[in-house]
Structure 1
Amino acid sequence: MANSSAVEELIARSNRLGADPRNTNYAGGNTSAKGHDTDPVTGEPVELMWVKGSGGDLGTLTERGLAVLRLDRLRALSGVYPGVEREDEMVAAFDYALHGKGGAAPSIDTAMHGLVEAVHVDHLHPDSGIALATAADGPELTRAIFGEKVVWVPWRRPGWQLGQDIAEIKRTHPEAIGTVLGGHGITAWGETSDDCERNSRWIIETAAEHITAHGRPDPFGAVLDGYEALPERERRAKAAALAPVLRGLASTDKRQVGHFTDGPEVLEFLARAEHPRLAELGTSCPDHFLRTKVKPLVLDLPATASVGESARRLAELHAQYREDYAAYYRRHATADSPPMRGADPAIVLIPGVGMFSYGGDKQTARVAGEFYVNAINVMRGAEALSTYSPIDEREKFRIEYWALEEAKLRRRPAPKPLATKVALVTGAASGIGKATAARLARDGAVVVLADLDEAKAREAAAEIGSPDVAVGVGTDVTDEDAVAAAVDAAVLAFGGLDVVVNNAGLSLSKPLLETTAADWDLQHDVMAKGSFLVSKAAAKVLVEQGLGGDIVYIVSKNGVFAGPNNVAYSAAKADQAHQVRLLAAELGGHAIRVNGVNPDGVVRGSGIFAGGWGAQRAKVYGVAEEDLGEFYAQRTLLKREVLPEHVANAVFALLGGDLSHTTGLHVPVDAGVAAAFLR
């Protein structure tokens, strides 16, 4: 088989299998194909293997994600295999078998693919397959369901020896199309790509059909009185109320981003009598507990418990969880174990409400939650047919603190300066707000873009990135309930809140005698009252989290400079300017910093100017509207036009870490307006 054909078929098969969560979890499993190409040195044919590299995802796999190895050299490594106790050394030895530039880094499962005498091999983590792999009588179930076509492999940590074990099964069971790997997943093979995929799907579907046909209808036990799912509005309100407390607890060792789900699998699991026992047993598949930790934290109160009662109990359970995790580490750590990475839970389960999951970014947090849903499905299948019996604690520790996993963590790029920060930006659909949201996201924050125009807020968020990076919400900052809903949306999207940028604003440029009371009220409602309401709602979350935080006001040079025909706008900006000082004084004890940015003359991209403000100001100054930006530039000391990005840069400067001891400051971004110098 030629290079292009083998790779094309492998990518297509991988993408099809990885697109369906019933087949494998995100970034879980690996696939391979063997074929021939020409050695560029000798010009002779050489047998190669293309296999998904370390850390890749089957559903989105491309050729760049494949490791490429010479099969003869890979199999020749059997001659230097030092045994199970030193098999981790074989991963480094894979480098000697790479072909050309080698492609992606080979994973620990490379041996499983290279040693098996089949052209195509799939290794997957389907819920139905892992249900059998974690059942107490998994070997017997495998034999009863599949006969001789699928062979049980006792638990063994991924590595060279597991590859040899599977290769031996393939040699000694010519009728077999694959295996169930105890505690782990499945492997299947075929002489063509279609055969391999067909065999993988047959194993997965046959296991699922058997569980449905022969499993108990209530594998999680009877419904617990008071633990049933709350009505949607009530449970999401409770989730939003608990989110800041939970994020503070989960960030005791290191700040985390959160994800919330109230999917039916989670709610049904938590409503049943067996969920405490099963949760305590933890997950089994290595891909699962590497992301979910060895077990979750489970609130042992009914759904009817109040927010206050739940929060107090969660604090107690969290303290116990940390003690238990540290004891788990001490029980199994050896002299060469990596240091303990942190004792906080990655998964928190709240009966009647749902699941919070945590990680160093939104995607990691979301995927951790998805993996625990996988684990729930596995427990359901195992309990339906048998008894859930995951691998023992020592083996879990050996995976969690595996030197190879530690090396993978160390290869990650250094975090960006705003990594793990959750930001809410108002007036974010255009101009300064949009530029600020984009800058914060570029530097690692996850961002909620709030705007009166919800459609435009969503469009702006989509321009910045996926929902793992930015989301848009509709918000009227003059409405206290709408502001509360926006803050709730932020904590449910990303687990909490760290940064608030009060940017929403508008202006009507009129002389005093033409300014109506309605003009005055509108501008003060949006800017003075609006920023007050947003700061108040956000400060409640920041205080409850106990992680500090930042509130930044986008004020104006008009907050300190008196100009003509602008009384309502400038007075509202002066109100905002003093809010900065007042809140800095009040919130400093909670490590919450409050600062302001004073822009001037931001014409291009500005929503305010586009709404008629530019034409009004141009009329005041006697210039054409299209020349207003240049007019503002020429009256500055630096003779430079101010753009939305320049204001966003100032916001980042306040948040990026170098001004960690600064609060109550106003930063001018006006290219130099002497009359607006702070005194």
Structure 2
Amino acid sequence: MPTGLPPIPGETELDRLVARSRLFGADPTLVLFGGGNTSSKILERDHLGNERWVLRIKGTGSDLRTIEARHFAGLWLDDLQPLRERDTLTDEEMLAYLSRCLVEADAPRPSIETLLHGFLPALHVDHVHADAICALANAPDPIAAVREALGDDIAVAPYVRPGFALAKVVTEFADSRAVVLAHHGLVTWGDTHEESYRLTLELVAKAQDYLEAHGSDIFEVALGSGPAPEQFLAQLRGRLSRERRQVLGVDPSQRAVAGRSDVDVVAAVRSTPDHMLRIGPRTAVIDADGDIDAQVTAYEEDYRAYHDAEAVEGTPMQSALPKVMLVPNVGGIAAGPDAGTARLRLELAAHTHAATAATLDSFGGSSWLTPAQVWEFEYWPLELYKLTFAPPPAELAGTVVLVTGAASGIGRDVAVDLARRGAHLAIADLNAEGLAETLALLPPGRAVAVDGDLTDRVVVDGLVSAAVEAWGGVDAVVFNAGIAATGNLVDVDEAEWRHSLEVNLTSHFTLTKRVWSILEHQGIGASLVYISSKNAFAPGAGFGPYSVAKAGLVQLAKIAALEGGKHGIRANVVNPDAIFAGSKLWSDELRKERADAHGVAISELEAFYAKRSLLGRAVTGPDVAEAVAFLVSDRSRTTTGCVLTVDGGVPAAFPR
């Protein structure tokens, strides 16, 4: 048994249960998100003041990495014991019975494994899906493998779906040191927190040693090199996003398993049924150089055939699309409605693939559930219940947006607003400090930043590549980068004129051209939103270099709409006016110039712009962000070639 481990901390038994649970959750080789369960039997007082034993067990859907005391359900232990005498109990009957044993009426739903924990006599019980244990549990002969690796005092229970029936089976092995559940995981126990925890570590270490001695390199991480091809990622993401937009996550560390000669065998199973909830029963093996559409379609057809053969009549089929994929020379790929889901699926896939490969390497073969057992678990209502804890998808979930000029003003407001609506963002600006401040306002894991001059094609290329590498593609671009360039035509310097055109017009053409091939390869349409200005239609004297470039930007958008329609690529324009708050465009020098041009004091300039509009109100960055969000979203799916004014109503700037 491992030595040198400190006592599990906590002032109360429940505190120590929380601490023990988090120790398990902190080690992904033992348990992954939402998986596993822990319990303690604790003396507590009931509402009459009587001391009674309470089973405190992890609530369904809780995560051992972050679990808190409130996530443990309490059940009166003596109320559970009569169920030992039952021969059968349906899931519905079990849930109804458990609900009547709760100490607190508002407790979370107890784990599916509650009766397994309650029937075992030990004070503390732990159940994990450790990679090394699962590798043994899926050997051609799990009983022989476990006995050889762990010893004769460790029992092996045949596969039974979790619930009442499994609890009855495991209880028969209560005199053993622990139980390995065939094709499932490990159950340990002890009369102290430390005893059960340390026993798990001991058995997992033994399993690891055994596997490594028999040719498995399950615990060596194979790092990949270089990004996945952009065209491949865009095509794959587009094919997977036909039902709803998804983002991709790529794990180069899975290149070794993806390159195995028996990769199809690895992909066909899971190391534990628990993983099926989030990554499905099988992994798609995709050839990056092959026909992506045909390969995904073949996977869908196989899934439909499996469902049709095994489904209970009337059960609606879940999405037939693959959630995780293995791609030779690329690694593992996962799809999801957001980056967090994709990362979670990648993590689950990495562990299930590694454990399966270890089984094959150590034993020359493996065993797994029958298709009927797989379907029974995949569509099991008690397991699917865990998915109900996820919030409904946000409006722009699965959407990837590029936003330029995001360090301040309109660009920052747009980025923050789109992130709030669920978008994933690649933001860019010349102002690195301001860009970092904007990035800090965005959700971690859903935003990347590229600082640099967007008149430089290398920076433009880096922005698009960053989005594709992070999430597999692009759905929308907000062209907002710009500078204020003033001066009368007879006075303006030619270099300043060209610079205004480069920043305010040509850089947007360059980005449009760069992203276009990605959008075409995806084949799911896109939205291009060009932030022009009221000046495009109603220029002001002394503002020529800026106004001409902005007018050109409107024409660029119209041409993009004309050429993009056949690809489902929409292009529209937002024309704001006089956005002062947070803007770097309105420098002190520009304020003075425009105040002089309009014959007002500098202090009255903002009020002047507001009052000259029909609505007589100031326009803000969030107002522009609202318009951008409309054009990015599917709410404007039939709108292209449009100019949307956000200027309070300036008659001279009416589009016509």
The aligned residue for residue 526 of structure 2 is 549
The aligned residue for residue 475 of structure 2 is 498
Cα offset, 1:439, TM superposition: 1.2
Over 3 Å counting, the alpha-carbon distance change for 1:515 and 1:120 in structure 2 is farther
1:38 aligns with 2:45: yes
Q: Which residue of 158, 161, 175 maps to 2:162?
A: 158
The aligned residue for residue 129 of structure 1 is 133
Cα offset, 1:508, TM superposition: 2.7
Find the aligned partners of 1:135 and 1:359 in 2 and give their Cα distance. Answer: 31
Which amino acid in the other structure matches residue 258 of structure 2?
L
1:258 aligns with 2:248: yes
The aligned residue for residue 432 of structure 1 is 410
The aligned residue for residue 51 of structure 1 is 57
Contact in 2 for aligned 1:460/1:472 (Cα 8 Å): no
Q: For each residue in 1:428-464, what CA deviation from the matched residue of structure 2 results, as whole angstroms up to 9, or x when unmatched?
A: 2222112111111211222222223455434423322
Find the aligned partners of 2:604 and 2:388 in 1 and give their Cα distance. Answer: 53
Cα offset, 1:505, TM superposition: 1.4
Q: Which moved further from structure 2: 240-249 or 669-678? A: 669-678
Give matches, 1:144-543, under 5 Å. 144-170=148-174, 172-173=175-176, 176=177, 178-212=178-212, 214-216=213-215, 232-233=225-226, 236=227, 238-263=228-253, 266-279=254-267, 281-300=268-287, 310=289, 312-337=290-315, 339-386=316-363, 387-410=365-388, 412-454=390-432, 456-467=434-445, 469-543=446-520
Q: For each residue in 1:534-570, what CA deviation from the matched residue of structure 2 results, as whole angstroms up to 9, or x when unmatched?
A: 2222232222111112111111111111112211111
Find the aligned partners of 1:219 and 1:24 in 2 and give their Cα distance. Answer: 16
Cα offset, 1:74, TM superposition: 3.5
Q: For each residue in 1:572-619, what CA deviation from the matched residue of structure 2 results, as whole angstroms up to 9, or x when unmatched?
A: 111111122211122112222211111111111113235864455455
In structure 1, runs of 5+ residues without a counterpart are 221-227, 301-306
The aligned residue for residue 104 of structure 2 is 100
Cα offset, 1:287, TM superposition: 2.5
Q: Which moved further from structure 2: 326-335 or 92-101? A: 92-101
Q: For each residue in 1:199-236, what CA deviation from the matched residue of structure 2 results, as whole angstroms up to 9, or x when unmatched?
A: 22222222112222x2216799xxxxxxx998x34xx1
Give the TM-score normalised by structure 1: 0.89
Over 3 Å counting, the alpha-carbon distance change for 1:399 and 1:239 in structure 2 is farther
Q: Which residue of 50, 60, 83 maps to 2:66?
A: 60
1:10 aligns with 2:17: yes
The aligned residue for residue 90 of structure 1 is 94
Which amino acid in the other structure matches residue 75 of structure 2?
L
Contact in 1 for aligned 2:448/2:466 (Cα 8 Å): no
Which amino acid in the other structure matches residue 34 of structure 1?
K
Cα offset, 1:58, TM superposition: 1.0
Contact in 2 for aligned 1:346/1:368 (Cα 8 Å): yes
Which amino acid in the other structure matches residue 422 of structure 1?
V
Q: For each residue in 1:357-397, what CA deviation from the matched residue of structure 2 results, as whole angstroms up to 9, or x when unmatched?
A: 11222211111111111012202321232123232322111
Over 3 Å counting, the alpha-carbon distance change for 1:261 and 1:456 in structure 2 is farther
Over 3 Å counting, the alpha-carbon distance change for 1:410 and 1:11 in structure 2 is closer
Which amino acid in the other structure matches residue 421 of structure 2?
D
Report the 3-state secondary structure (helix = DSSP H, G, I; strand = E; otherwise coil) of the residue aligned with 1:58: coil
Report the 3-state secondary structure (helix = DSSP H, G, I; strand = E; otherwise coil) of the residue aligned with 2:635: coil
Report the 3-state secondary structure (helix = DSSP H, G, I; strand = E; otherwise coil) of the residue aligned with 1:512: coil
Q: Which moved further from structure 2: 268-277 or 563-572? A: 268-277
Contact in 1 for aligned 2:411/2:480 (Cα 8 Å): yes
The aligned residue for residue 224 of structure 1 is none
Find the aligned partners of 2:623 and 2:510 in 1 and give their Cα distance. Answer: 26
The aligned residue for residue 5 of structure 2 is none
Contact in 2 for aligned 1:487/1:537 (Cα 8 Å): yes
Contact in 2 for aligned 1:423/1:498 (Cα 8 Å): yes
Over 3 Å counting, the alpha-carbon distance change for 1:595 and 1:64 in structure 2 is farther
Find the aligned partners of 1:112 and 1:612 in 2 and give their Cα distance. Answer: 75
Cα offset, 1:624, TM superposition: 6.3
Find the aligned partners of 1:407 and 1:289 in 2 and give their Cα distance. Answer: 13
Over 3 Å counting, the alpha-carbon distance change for 1:500 and 1:285 in structure 2 is same
Cα offset, 1:626, TM superposition: 6.1
Find the aligned partners of 2:206 and 2:628 in 1 and give their Cα distance. Answer: 56
Cα offset, 1:81, TM superposition: 6.9
Contact in 2 for aligned 1:253/1:343 (Cα 8 Å): no
Q: Which moved further from structure 2: 47-56 or 119-128? A: 47-56
The aligned residue for residue 74 of structure 1 is 80
Cα offset, 1:673, TM superposition: 2.0
Find the aligned partners of 2:100 and 2:87 in 1 and give their Cα distance. Answer: 14
Cα offset, 1:239, TM superposition: 2.7
Q: For each residue in 1:408-433, what CA deviation from the matched residue of structure 2 results, as whole angstroms up to 9, or x when unmatched?
A: 44564432222221212112222211
Over 3 Å counting, the alpha-carbon distance change for 1:164 and 1:609 in structure 2 is farther
Find the aligned partners of 1:190 and 1:454 in 2 and give their Cα distance. Answer: 56
Over 3 Å counting, the alpha-carbon distance change for 1:146 and 1:218 in structure 2 is closer
Find the aligned partners of 1:55 and 1:511 in 2 and give their Cα distance. Answer: 66
Contact in 1 for aligned 2:277/2:384 (Cα 8 Å): no
1:109 aligns with 2:147: no
1:29 aligns with 2:36: yes
Find the aligned partners of 1:145 and 1:245 in 2 and give their Cα distance. Answer: 45
Contact in 1 for aligned 2:189/2:195 (Cα 8 Å): yes
Over 3 Å counting, the alpha-carbon distance change for 1:229 and 1:374 in structure 2 is closer
Give matches, 1:664-675, under 5 Å. 664-675=641-652
Contact in 1 for aligned 2:275/2:348 (Cα 8 Å): yes
In structure 2, runs of 5+ residues without a counterpart are 1-9
Cα offset, 1:404, TM superposition: 2.5
Find the aligned partners of 2:596 and 2:131 in 1 and give their Cα distance. Answer: 68
Structure 1 vs Structure 2 CA RMSD = 2.6
The aligned residue for residue 124 of structure 2 is 120
Q: Which moved further from structure 2: 643-652 or 622-631? A: 622-631
Report the 3-state secondary structure (helix = DSSP H, G, I; strand = E; otherwise coil) of the residue aligned with 1:662: coil
Report the 3-state secondary structure (helix = DSSP H, G, I; strand = E; otherwise coil) of the residue aligned with 1:596: strand
Which amino acid in the other structure matches residue 203 of structure 1?
L
Q: Which moved further from structure 2: 563-572 or 665-674? A: 665-674
Find the aligned partners of 2:592 and 2:202 in 1 and give their Cα distance. Answer: 69
Find the aligned partners of 1:454 and 1:180 in 2 and give their Cα distance. Answer: 54
Find the aligned partners of 2:459 and 2:260 in 1 and give their Cα distance. Answer: 36
Q: Which moved further from structure 2: 538-547 or 91-100? A: 91-100
Equivalenced residues, count: 645
Q: For each residue in 1:237-276, what CA deviation from the matched residue of structure 2 results, as whole angstroms up to 9, or x when unmatched?
A: x43221110012223444322111212xx11112332223
Contact in 1 for aligned 2:405/2:480 (Cα 8 Å): yes
Cα offset, 1:653, TM superposition: 2.2
Over 3 Å counting, the alpha-carbon distance change for 1:655 and 1:57 in structure 2 is same
Q: Which moved further from structure 2: 5-14 or 609-618? A: 609-618
Find the aligned partners of 1:101 and 1:613 in 2 and give their Cα distance. Answer: 65
Over 3 Å counting, the alpha-carbon distance change for 1:452 and 1:413 in structure 2 is same
1:20 aligns with 2:27: yes
Contact in 2 for aligned 1:130/1:183 (Cα 8 Å): yes
Between the aligned residues of both structures, percent identity stands at 35
Which amino acid in the other structure matches residue 600 of structure 1?
D
Cα offset, 1:46, TM superposition: 3.4
